[in-house]
Amino acid sequence: MTRSPTRLRCAILGASGYIGQHFARLLGDHPVFELTLLVGSDRNSGQRLSDLWQLSEECPPAASDLRLRSVGPAEIARRGVDLVFSGLPSGTAGRVETELARRGVDVFTNASDHRMDPRVPLLVPEVNADHLDALVRGRGARSGLIVADPNCSAAGLVVALRPVWDLLRPRAVHVTTYQALSGAGLLGVASLAITDNVVPFIAREEEKVAAESQRMLGSVAGRAVRPSAVPFVVHCARVGVRDGHLEAITVEARQRPSQGALERAWMRFDPLVGHGLPTAPHPAIALRSETDRPQPVRDRWAGSPARARGMAVSVGRVRWEAPYLRFFALSHNAVRGGAGGSVLNAELAAERGYLGRGRAT
Amino acid sequence: MTRSPTRLRCAILGASGYIGQHFARLLGDHPVFELTLLVGSDRNSGQRLSDLWQLSEECPPAASDLRLRSVGPAEIARRGVDLVFSGLPSGTAGRVETELARRGVDVFTNASDHRMDPRVPLLVPEVNADHLDALVRGRGARSGLIVADPNCSAAGLVVALRPVWDLLRPRAVHVTTYQALSGAGLLGVASLAITDNVVPFIAREEEKVAAESQRMLGSVAGRAVRPSAVPFVVHCARVGVRDGHLEAITVEARQRPSQGALERAWMRFDPLVGHGLPTAPHPAIALRSETDRPQPVRDRWAGSPARARGMAVSVGRVRWEAPYLRFFALSHNAVRGGAGGSVLNAELAAERGYLGRGRAT
Amino acid sequence: MTRSPTRLRCAILGASGYIGQHFARLLGDHPVFELTLLVGSDRNSGQRLSDLWQLSEECPPAASDLRLRSVGPAEIARRGVDLVFSGLPSGTAGRVETELARRGVDVFTNASDHRMDPRVPLLVPEVNADHLDALVRGRGARSGLIVADPNCSAAGLVVALRPVWDLLRPRAVHVTTYQALSGAGLLGVASLAITDNVVPFIAREEEKVAAESQRMLGSVAGRAVRPSAVPFVVHCARVGVRDGHLEAITVEARQRPSQGALERAWMRFDPLVGHGLPTAPHPAIALRSETDRPQPVRDRWAGSPARARGMAVSVGRVRWEAPYLRFFALSHNAVRGGAGGSVLNAELAAERGYLGRGRAT
Amino acid sequence: MTRSPTRLRCAILGASGYIGQHFARLLGDHPVFELTLLVGSDRNSGQRLSDLWQLSEECPPAASDLRLRSVGPAEIARRGVDLVFSGLPSGTAGRVETELARRGVDVFTNASDHRMDPRVPLLVPEVNADHLDALVRGRGARSGLIVADPNCSAAGLVVALRPVWDLLRPRAVHVTTYQALSGAGLLGVASLAITDNVVPFIAREEEKVAAESQRMLGSVAGRAVRPSAVPFVVHCARVGVRDGHLEAITVEARQRPSQGALERAWMRFDPLVGHGLPTAPHPAIALRSETDRPQPVRDRWAGSPARARGMAVSVGRVRWEAPYLRFFALSHNAVRGGAGGSVLNAELAAERGYLGRGRAT
């Protein structure tokens, strides 16, 4: 996909946060979206992105001199922004996002507020692009879209499950997480709380992982999504790792495919091939054959081409003793499970013609 | 239990290792056992324990001046040792232990070599003291006993499961571990392998946890033990924590006790009360009501009285949505899951009269 | 020192913080001071200490049921408190402490606000007990004392320097620190800031270490203290260690004692011997002869008797190539460099008769 | 520098180690050197580089299928290798390197064995390129060169000192290090030794930093190098950081330049500009103005262009209170202080015509 002469104008909400900075990293030089506005709080207003930069990765030169602005939905819409990427904290995000959509601005959000709204697609393009179509097509163009990406643990989980879901016809899915520090934001976990420690609790996380996974793996029924009824039994814990959520997954299966069939399904999984989405990794899953992978420090940046680094989900340690399929999956919580997920959602929506003033709705 | 005028004479095998040093810490001033010999390798022979000391806890004054000796089974027996505590690495332990027993020395071992031997009790006193009786009583006194403690992850697991086992009648048990560095010994995990990382693999660990748990939760049939048939579905991973194995446990239950009944069962669990075993914690389980416990750095030393520090198993985050009971358990891998477990095994065997020359067999 | 029938009644200010909890740990069962009041913020008022407990060490039973109260200086004085231990944050501490002293309550503070006040003793009993006498004796009993302990890095530093100071007659002292996370309080360092990292900056720390060390190593001139003129050249950095400040120290010396003379000076350093201060470690310094000590995880709890754990300063890796003496020193920042330091200060003041209504002034 | 049609053929010694893999990363697609041989131990012989890969960075595609060979100097020379990069451990490296040079193969080594050999240039191109000329030019072409890069801590140190050396005319240099785990190689530091800890000892490191820095900052006298007589007073410690050595540096100065003059000297320092060396960073130093930089996790990969990532030295927290200049410096120990340093040395030697069969000597 070459750079369009008429890129869509986008803004980032919550630009000073961890997810906000990953949005900036991905959108600083994007072929489809032109980053024109960084929205921050009163406290940060007027500061340049480069002054606030906290990531180990470089601040993109094209965005580093942009200054944060503390502006509301009306002003954002007035500035001709086509779409926003929301890295706002859950709780405050919902109202702002609704207001933006009401004013005709499309919203791609990483916040949880709208995820279970039946009219909002909860989207991972490799997993449930049909949900986007079902909920968006023909809905009338007056107001903007709201499209949510899932919880950072659910994102990697559903990508890992999707290719083997129908082969296994699960009776239950058991998930236990080893979640990274950055999942709680820049200041979310105090160092004394986690050094030489594991914390077996993340507020509301287990409920989100279960409900959101069931929704994304659900089926389309007319213009609605019917969640999967497969129980997700979830344990969530925080470990002292900077980035990359690791998950121990057990599927209790109704069917008995061969191990080879499972591995082929993962290796060949690339449903977005040929769509030209710049942030889509090809293939979507990195199947590891080593005895001790995936590992956060080595696999969190999996994904090619370069723009899709951190977007692939790594799967490894596959052990299939029917009826239990066990494996580990790893994904970068702030990329696949955060900013990158929403950018990919917007790319898919743009490709399908759902975005902007001339959208096909 | 007051200090006996005629304590049993004991030795430690593998005294320079992590488990060996925990044995020394516990036996340096023990009311039942008198530490008379530290057995090490040729390389360490002649060195004082204090010179090799690696634990953060203090080297017990009574043991610090003992020097390691590189001696074999024959010499150990000749020195009048009644029993040995074996912290030898699995693989080399088995042969030495068999030879010691053949020479009439009782063996309490942390190594895995004999754990699945049908004649060897795989013992956690709070869980399956009846296995000890079944396999030992009346077996004839010519040779020494071999009594094994389980894998460091299985030890905490079975203590946590035992009080609720019959209430739940499990259909399956799912266990995912967050295992500490010391579980691999002093040099087992390189810092570059684990800093900012999780390693989702520990050689043969998942198989051990499953098989040993089934064995310990099995039933006595005459003079044999019949393992439980409940499937244990296990994931094991290493995290960057010094000590303390945390486990996320889900029991799929056949029965539906109340949550209150489960909690009472855990809180009241104290099967060794009144037996006077110095290293037994009372109660056996610390049930935590906080939202975010147990945690390794805060709970690994649970257990009272003082001699039983690190021997209690902490249970918390109990969530019961039938048929799935979810909770976390934590235990000190080198104490409850290592040296302390074997010392407690020996205390139980002594109390039952199975040890030493005058044993009741 | 046996428990006095008439212990002095004490309160802790800032009882929910890291230093506050260490105060509670030390005062929960103290032979000279009786803990009668825990002062917290409005937010914590009414909660029991055990509910707020964050240390890995146990909450002392005698204090665990005390509830925090949000009360001001007038109310504290009205409750008959003889002395307070202040773990308030610097900045807010000063005004409260002044007000308490004005009302006749003695104040032993860990905050920095009064440390450079020429009328306030900045005290480490092993180092400059004469400063306490010079500033306190004969000053009139109307108001309470304020006695400050130094910055957590300065405390260990001056104890390590004191025994060799006159032998070396320093021309300059170079100090570079490896400071623990707890030095910044329970929430002071975000985990993302320090995991896999070192942060070479702690606000105002280098200035404090230099100025406070010069003051404590200064000489008494009548009723004032004249700071040492020896330059302290200081670098401070934070590392990912829970507790224990390590310092690399170089003294550029004017004199050339033998290495043996230096080591003897450290080993024999025990100026408080015979004073019966319960929290004083004997000896004051643990001189390590190993090649790679002191280390935070192994040496931070140095100090005996049991009540003085964490109060000894460990010195090691002594290298003397005139004119440069190099060594490392380690001390527990929250004990020797925090709560324990102030408790020892109060013990010294009590022993000298400076405390309470019947004080000798 | 465009890719030469006749690149020099190079081999890597110790290709399975941490430095060896960084050599492979840098040489897998190099415009001047063609990687033709990976030399490993008997144990690794026959394995592909990708099977042994341990770095978080990607294995370069061009090298990933190369197989390690266990071959000696004679065989290496016979295979037409022009130069070798040696990542062999110190101790075994020296003899092999001497033998290779004897057979006409040029050697660029990261091992310490030859560093203090008066005929061997100990080289950091930005610092002492004149030493290379003095020791190599006109020495006759019969045998191969041996060129050493310095200890990983000394490398960053001398780059940071060079621009301000003549401005300050140092009386003494004080250096205290915070060294990363990878400086000890893949298995060098056990996780239990360093988790929640700092280890204030690295064997022979302090001596190397002092002596090597004095040598590199020494002056050319005819065909020899006369070391600087300025004393280097060094403390070395290991911290729990994956990569990046941080150093606290104090220069006691004889002269009193303005702070502005010092900062300009650092910012403008780019002595290799215009030489076309692919791995040279431009500028050589990244001067940080933030209050809390440089930091390992954020600054270790400093350096541009892309091929020079990890080669720049970051300098920050500059505090100049005459006569003491204090600052922190950071460099990637395995790149600037390891493989990258030797590759840059070889690029300089190639540019000056000292390499290969047609060398100008």
8 Å CB contact of D56 and A196: no
Contacts of B297 in chain A (CB under 8 A): 195-197
**CA-based angle D324:D296:C319, to the nearest 5?**
50
pLDDT of A120 above 80: yes
Comparing alpha-carbon positions, the chain A residue that sits nearest to D59 is: A298
Helix (H) or strand (E) holding B77: helix B73-78
pLDDT of A68 above 90: yes
**In C179-277, which ranges are continuous DSSP H helix?**
191-194, 205-216, 259-267
Nearest to C56 among B195, B196, B298 (CB): B298
Q: What are the distances in angstroms from CA C80 to CA B66, B151, C32, C343, D111? A: 54, 56, 16, 19, 70
Domains of chain D, each with CATH number or no CATH? 8-149+339-351 (3.40.50.720), 152-331 (3.30.360.10)
Among D171, D198, D238, most C C-beta atoms within 10 A, so best to mutate, is D198
What tens digit of pLDDT does each residue of A171-211 get?
Answer: 999 999 999 999 999 999 999 999 999 999 999 999 999 99
8 Å CB contact of D237 and C231: no
8 Å CB contact of B200 and A237: no
Q: Is B202 an interface residue toward D (CB < 8 Å)?
A: no
8 Å CB contact of B186 and D194: no
Percentage of chain B exceeding pLDDT 70: 96
- pTM score, two decimals? 0.96
Comparing alpha-carbon positions, the chain B residue that sits nearest to C51 is: B290
Taking the C-alpha atoms of residue C247 and residue C207, their distance in angstroms, rounded to an integer, is: 16
The full DSSP string for A181-225 is: GGGG-TTSSBHHHHTT--B---TTHHHHHHHHHHHHTSEEETTEE
3-state secondary structure (DSSP) of residue A127? helix
What tens digit of pLDDT does each residue of C305-332 get?
Answer: 999 999 999 999 999 999 999 999 999 9
Comparing alpha-carbon positions, the chain B residue that sits nearest to C194 is: B196
Contact (Cβ atoms closer than 8 angstroms) between residue D361 and residue D140: yes
Q: Token digits for C234?
A: 């200081």
The full DSSP string for B78-97 is: HTT--EEEE-PPTTTHHHHH
Q: Is D242 an interface residue toward C (CB < 8 Å)?
A: yes
User: In the block, which residue shows the tokens 């990244």?
Assistant: D286
Q: Is D193 an interface residue toward A (CB < 8 Å)?
A: no
Q: Is C195 an interface residue toward B (CB < 8 Å)?
A: yes
The Cα of C266 is separated from the nearest Cα of chain B by a number of Å equal to 22
The full DSSP string for A254-269 is: SS---HHHHHHHHHT-
Contacts of A323 in chain B (CB under 8 A): none
Q: What is the mean pLDDT of chain A?
A: 95
pLDDT of D107 above 70: yes
pLDDT of B361 above 50: no
Taking the C-alpha atoms of residue B135 and residue C115, their distance in angstroms, rounded to an integer, is: 69
Question: What b-and-e string marks burial along D83-109, b requiring 16 or more CB atoms within 10 Å of the CB?
Answer: bbbbbbebeebbebbbbbbeebbbbbb
- Return the closest-CA partner of residue C98 out of C125, C128, C77, C124: C77
The pLDDT confidence band at residue D2, using thresholds 50, 70 and 90, is: very low
Among B54, B192, B194, B298, most D C-beta atoms within 10 A, so best to mutate, is B192
| Residue C357 pLDDT | 55
Contact (Cβ atoms closer than 8 angstroms) between residue A41 and residue A114: no
Taking the C-alpha atoms of residue B242 and residue B233, their distance in angstroms, rounded to an integer, is: 25
Helix (H) or strand (E) holding B350: helix B339-351
8 Å CB contact of A174 and B174: yes
Q: Is D116 an interface residue toward C (CB < 8 Å)?
A: no
In angstroms and rounded to an integer, the radius of gyration of the C-alpha atoms of chain C is 19
Contacts of D237 in chain C (CB under 8 A): 178, 246, 248, 328
| Residue A2 pLDDT | 46
The pLDDT confidence band at residue B137, using thresholds 50, 70 and 90, is: confident
Taking the C-alpha atoms of residue D108 and residue D123, their distance in angstroms, rounded to an integer, is: 10
What tens digit of pLDDT does each residue of B66-89 get?
Answer: 999 999 999 999 999 999 999 999
The pLDDT confidence band at residue D297, using thresholds 50, 70 and 90, is: very high
| Encoded amino acid at B105, one letter | V
Taking the C-alpha atoms of residue B171 and residue B186, their distance in angstroms, rounded to an integer, is: 38
pLDDT of A361 above 90: no
Q: Token digits for D205?
A: 């490191």
| Residue A360 pLDDT | 46
Per-position pLDDT tens, chain C of length 361: 445 568 999 999 999 999 999 999 999 999 999 999 999 999 999 999 999 999 999 899 989 999 999 999 999 999 999 999 999 999 999 999 999 999 999 999 999 999 999 999 999 999 999 999 999 987 766 689 999 999 999 999 999 999 999 999 999 999 999 999 999 999 999 999 999 999 999 999 999 999 999 999 999 999 999 999 999 999 999 999 999 999 999 999 999 999 999 999 999 999 999 999 999 999 999 999 999 999 999 999 999 999 999 999 999 999 999 999 999 999 999 999 999 999 999 999 999 999 975 454 4
Contact (Cβ atoms closer than 8 angstroms) between residue B181 and residue D192: yes
Q: Is D140 left (phi over 0), alpha (psi -120 to 50) or beta?
A: left
Main-chain phi, psi angles of B337, to 5 degrees: -95, 15
| Residue C2 pLDDT | 46
Comparing alpha-carbon positions, the chain A residue that sits nearest to B329 is: A200
Q: Sign (positive/negative) of CA torsion C86, C91, C94, C95?
A: negative
Q: Is B196 an interface residue toward C (CB < 8 Å)?
A: yes
Contact (Cβ atoms closer than 8 angstroms) between residue C189 and residue A192: yes
pLDDT of B159 above 50: yes
Contact (Cβ atoms closer than 8 angstroms) between residue C287 and residue C215: no
What tens digit of pLDDT does each residue of D44-66 get?
Answer: 999 999 999 999 998 999 899 99
| Residue D359 pLDDT | 54
8 Å CB contact of B190 and D186: yes
Taking the C-alpha atoms of residue A135 and residue D219, their distance in angstroms, rounded to an integer, is: 75
pLDDT of A142 above 90: no
| Residue B6 pLDDT | 84
8 Å CB contact of A176 and B328: no
- In this complex, which chains have at least 3 CB pairs below 8 Å with chain D? A, B, C
Q: Sign (positive/negative) of CA torsion D239, D243, D248, D254?
A: positive
The complex's ipTM works out to 0.96
B70 contacts: CB under 8 Å, gap ≥ 6: B39, B40, B41, B42, B44, B45
User: In the block, which residue shows the tokens 């104090």?
Assistant: D250
Q: Mean pLDDT over residues D329-351, rounded? A: 98
Quick check: is A10 catalytic?
no
Number of Cβ pairs closer than 8 Å across A and D?
A: 11
Catalytic one of D245, D275, D282, D332? D245
Contacts of D333 in chain B (CB under 8 A): none
| Residue B140 pLDDT | 66
Q: Is D178 an interface residue toward C (CB < 8 Å)?
A: yes
| Residue D6 pLDDT | 84
Nearest to D297 among A56, A298, A301 (CB): A56
Q: Is D201 an interface residue toward C (CB < 8 Å)?
A: yes
| Residue A212 pLDDT | 98
Half-sphere exposure of A158 (CA within 13 A, CB side): 31
Nearest to A56 among D195, D196, D298 (CB): D298
Q: What are the distances in angstroms from CA C173 to CA C128, C215, C227, C278, D178? A: 18, 14, 14, 32, 20
Main-chain phi, psi angles of A274, to 5 degrees: 85, -5
| Residue B356 pLDDT | 72
Q: Mean pLDDT over residues B320-326, rounded? A: 98
Comparing alpha-carbon positions, the chain C residue that sits nearest to D176 is: C176
According to DSSP, the residues that pair with D122 across neighbouring strands are D148
8 Å CB contact of D187 and B190: yes
A92 contacts: CB under 8 Å, gap ≥ 6: none
